[in-house]
Every structure is written in structure tokens, then in C-alpha cells.
Chains A and B, each alone.
Chain A
Amino acid sequence: MKKISLMVLMGVTLSFLYACANTSSIARVHPEEVKGLPRCAECHTDTWTALNHQAQDFYLKHKFYAAQQRAACSTCHKESFCVDCHAHKEEIKPNDKYKERPELNLPHRGDYLSRHRIDGRINPASCVKCHGRENNERCKTCHR
């Protein structure tokens, strides 16, 4: 009974907080089609000026932006865009899938099978987000 009362109270409180927010949602689809690697500051003067896709540190920082406000990414990128790299189960490396887009600097270029142990020694933490709990069935071939 106590639990149910607490849940009802929480629901009412959250509904009240939601009703009073009165903000406009981020556009679901970007009003103009954006091509290539955009520098959002070319048009934006708001928060999104930070999203310069050509910046040398954008690849490093995109995870922080996505974890804060993924809806902003979704205005231009469909779910399938993220899945190309952040896959549940995938047999084709991103770099192999898009050989005609070398400027994207997609991970695991060239002979990565022999080089992955070097990257893994340098910073195995960078492997975990994509291979720690997903997309790792083939690891078992050697890592028993």
C-alpha cells in the first residue's frame, strides 16, 4: 500500500513538473538537408554551434553530446546511421562497408585483425562500448 501511494505521488508530481515545463521540442527532422560533414555554426548561433563535424575532436566528443541530447543528433541522423558502428551484431567493419567515404575516418582500417592487439594494449577501454557486451561473438574464435 505504501509503495503504491508513493508511486501515485511520484506520478502526480512528475505530471505536474511536465505540464509546467512548456518548452518546444527539438525539430524531429532538420528543416534543410545537410550534406557532407557540416559545421553547424555556419547557420546556428545557439547551443548547436558546438557540433562542428569537421573539428579534429568531434569524433572524440560525439559520445558526450549524444548522451546529453540525442534528439539533436536524430534531426539529421536516423537510427541506422548510429547502428553502422554501434551494432548489436555485425560482420562487416564500418570501414569495409564504406570504402568510398575515406574522409569519415571510420574505425579498423586495413589489416585490423593483427593490429587490434596493439590498440587493445594501448587503450582497451575504447573497445568496450562497441565490443564489451555486444558484437563480440567472433572474439571467441581466439579468446576462449
Chain B
Amino acid sequence: MKIQKKITGAVRPCVLKLAGTALITCSLLAFDHPAAYATSISGDSLTILRLRENKRDDQLFPLYEYLNLSASDTGSQGTISVQLGGWGRIDLGDRSSQRRSDGDIQYGFLSYRANKNNLQFNAGRQWVVEGVATERLDGLYLRTDLVAGFTAATFVGTPVTTNPNFEGGELIYGGRIAHTMPKYYSIGLSALRNETDAEGLREEEGVDLWLHPIPQLDISGRSSYNSLSKGWAEHAYTLSVTPMDALRLSASMQRIDYKDYFYHVTTSALSLTNGILDPNEELWNVGGSIGFLPTKNVNVALEYNRYEYEIAGDADYYGVTASFTTPTALTAGASFHRMDGDTGPLRYNQYRAWATQKFGPADLTLDFFDVDFDSSITGRTNTYSLAAAAGYNFNRSLRVTADIDYQRSTDFDNELRGLVKLSYAFGFGKEGK
């Protein structure tokens, strides 16, 4: 793996090509778009002020603005929309990170969705989720239904990565072909390749499935193969059985081969070169859960997970969660989990209790979370956090929330954090949330 060189100066040619292609395609779509039946513009703004101290007693008051915008225009053939979202920060107190101000465009793309054949075309910064691909890219995405139950999707672009240690590549492309019988199953084959100067950084193929031969049975999962390291990176499958509305049984299996799964990341924290992750390690995670609704308002879940390793010691994780909800005012829950590993840090009890109560336009939330270790970690066996939040809805669009969070951890004796949040939704027309 090569250390990432910061790219400065000229924009990469492939980006220009992609941008040009996107602009031309979008212009053609817009030009061809018949008169609008419905136009919708919506957005939401989230202004957040955080208040905390760090280990050096710096007073940190970062102020954030998150803004999401969506505009769509529906015609007789389909809908053209523009989606844009990002955030910015400025430090009102001491510096909270390397830069006093920062920000990010999280997504920004133009989309066309046809009323027929689930045809969708996106151009811009987007998050593509297709089989083995879970990628953010600046580029193009096309998906459509084909004849006889087949569907196809393809994408190409520049990977949008953060590259603190290793480069994320200059070009990513791939696709997925699937066959679906909506009542019974969907099985897909997918592939992706990520490269720099035609040299492959990642090359993955996979099969994904979703089987539901009867309404009570649901099996989903995927297997992915790493062509560069020539090994199966992951097998992950979950089976759910719902013999009655009030009862759901679930079993899951995951196998990870470290040398194939962690083959190319951009951070040394998850790299096989960091001395923490052993390339020869293999993980098997097998588990199950039972979900039970004794009444419509009560939900109880029991879960068990077994982690088995080729090299490290094994661990069991099991517990119970119960929650109670009334249709209008109260949501409450509690959980207990036990981690039974082979070393001190992997032997602990985890407790949680939470409740949210509405009082007309106002609401109050309490959330307690406690981890009790069998042996001390940096001189402490018990760590906990207690959070209280209060919110008030001025109307359907404007809401203010404030919360305070007290923590006692292995790193901090007493840490108090605060957050004030103002959210405002605006626009007209009908969109999702």
C-alpha cells in the first residue's frame, strides 16, 4: 500500500470528464422533460452548539450548521430532483480540531426517476449501495428493471474518501445484475473495482440474496470475494422466522477473513499494517435472537452472539432488551448485556435504561448507560453516562432541543457536555424525512 499523496493543483481529468458527461446528460433530461405536474421544494436546517471541555481544559464551543435541500419536479414520465446536503462548523471558543472552521458536502446530485421500470439516473456526489458496493462517489449511477424480472445497476466515478494514511483511489466503477420474483426472492451478482493509474486498489465480487418464499420466512445476506487477495472476504447471512405477529426468531452467521476483508482501507486504525489487526485472523460470529411482543405496547428481545477467532480468544455476548411504548406520550426501555471474553476488557456487564415522555409540545428524555468491567481499566471498573434532553416544538417546522450529558469513564473523572439544537424544516410539496 502506498501512502496517500495530497492532491493539489489541477483537477483530475477523469473528474472533468465525469462532470461534463453529467452536465450534458442532465441538460438533455431537463430539455426533454415535459411540463411539471408537481413541484416540491423542501429543506431542513439543523443548528447545533456544543459545549464541552477537553483534557487540556480548553473551552470548546463549536457551532454547526447542517443544511439539506431537495427540489423535485414531477412530470408525466418521471421526476427530476436535486438533492444537496452538507455542514459547516466554526469554533466560538478554543480550537476543537486542527482547523477553527471546517465543513463538508456530504451529498449533492441531480436525479431522474422514471415512472416506469424503476429507471433511476443520478449524477453528482452520492452514496451508492449495490451488492458489494457501499461507496460514496462523485460520478454517475444508473439503475433499471429489465425484461423477465432482471434488474441492472451500474456506477462510475471518483471515490469520495478521507485519506489520513492511505489513498482512496482515483476511479471506482462497478455494477450489479439481479433477478427478482417480488413475492419470493431476489438474487444479485455484483462487482466493483477501485484503482489508481490502472493499478487495482480493490476488486470485489459478490452475491447477495433476499429470500422470502413464505411471508413468515425471511433470509438475507451476502458473500463477497476479494479478487486481488484471492479469498472470500465475508459471508454474512441472517434468517428470520415470524411464526406469529408477536414472535420473531432470528439467526445470523458472519465469517470474516481479515486479510481479504481489510485489504485496502484509508486509515491505519483498520489497516493490516498497524500491528493490531492480524492478517491471519479469521472471525466466526454466530448468533440468534428472540423478539416477543406480549402486548402491542411491550417489546422484549433476547439475543446471543458467539465470537470465535482463529488466533484471539473467543467471546460470548448475550442479553435482554425490553421496551414499552404508548401511542401518544411515553417510550421507555431497559437492557442488560453481558460480554464474556477471555481478557479483562472483554468481560463486562452493560446496563441501559431510557425514557422519553411527551407533554404536549414539549418532551423530556433520560438515558442512562453503564458498563461494569470485571477488572479495572486504568484504575476504574465502572463507567457510565447519564444524559437528559428536553425538546419543545414551537410548530410543525420549528423545534429546539437542549441536552446535558454527564460521563465518568476510563479516561475522564467527571465530564459534562452540553448541546443546544435548533431544527427548522421548510418548503412545500411532499417529500420524505
Contacts and interface: CB of A to CB of B under 8 A. Distances in A.
B255 to A, nearest CB: 10
B14 to A, nearest CB: 18
B365 A102 contact: yes
A142 B401 CA distance: 33
A60 B252 contact: yes
A99 B419 CA distance: 9
Interface in B170-210: 178, 182-183, 186, 188, 208, 210
Nearest to A130: B134
Which of B118, B119, B283, B312 counts the most A-chain CB atoms under 10 A from its CB? Answer: B118
A83 B70 contact: no
Contacts of B410: 111, 114
A77 B432 contact: yes
B270 A49 contact: no
Contact of A64 (B72, B208, B419): B208
A143 B116 CA distance: 49
A71 B144 CA distance: 11
A64 B265 contact: no
A127 interface: yes
Contacts of B270: 124, 127-128, 131-132, 136, 139
B97 interface: yes
A128 B240 contact: no
Interface in B204-243: 208, 210, 212, 215, 218, 220-222, 234, 238, 240
B315 A144 contact: no
A93 B100 CA distance: 19
Interface string A115-133: 1011011111101110111
Interface string B331-345: 101000001010001
Given A55-B248, A63-B134, A78-B68, A89 B291 contact: no
Interface string A34-70: 0000000100011101101011110011011111111
B105 to A, nearest CB: 8
Given A56-B291, A67-B130, A74-B432, A47 B183 contact: yes
A92 B117 contact: no
Given A49-B215, A56-B248, A143 B411 contact: no
A92 B64 contact: yes
B48 interface: yes
B345 A70 contact: no
A74 to B, nearest CB: 7
Given A46-B182, A63-B134, A124-B277, A24 B115 contact: yes
B385 A109 contact: yes
B363 A21 contact: no
A123 B283 contact: yes
Interface string B262-275: 10011111100010
B303 to A, nearest CB: 7
B161 interface: yes
Interface string A73-105: 011111111110011111110001101111100
12 contacts: A18-B117, A20-B147, A23-B116, A29-B432, A56-B290, A102-B356, A114-B377, A117-B345, A122-B317, A125-B283, A132-B267, A143-B165
Interface of A: 14, 16-18, 20-26, 28-30, 41, 45-47, 49-50, 52, 54-57, 60-61, 63-71, 74-83, 86-92, 96-97, 99-103, 109-111, 113-115, 117-118, 120-125, 127-129, 131-140, 142-144
In the A-B complex, list the 10 residue pairs whose CB atoms are closest, starting with the nearest: A111-B409, A102-B354, A110-B385, A56-B301, A143-B269, A64-B220, A136-B267, A139-B269, A56-B291, A80-B68
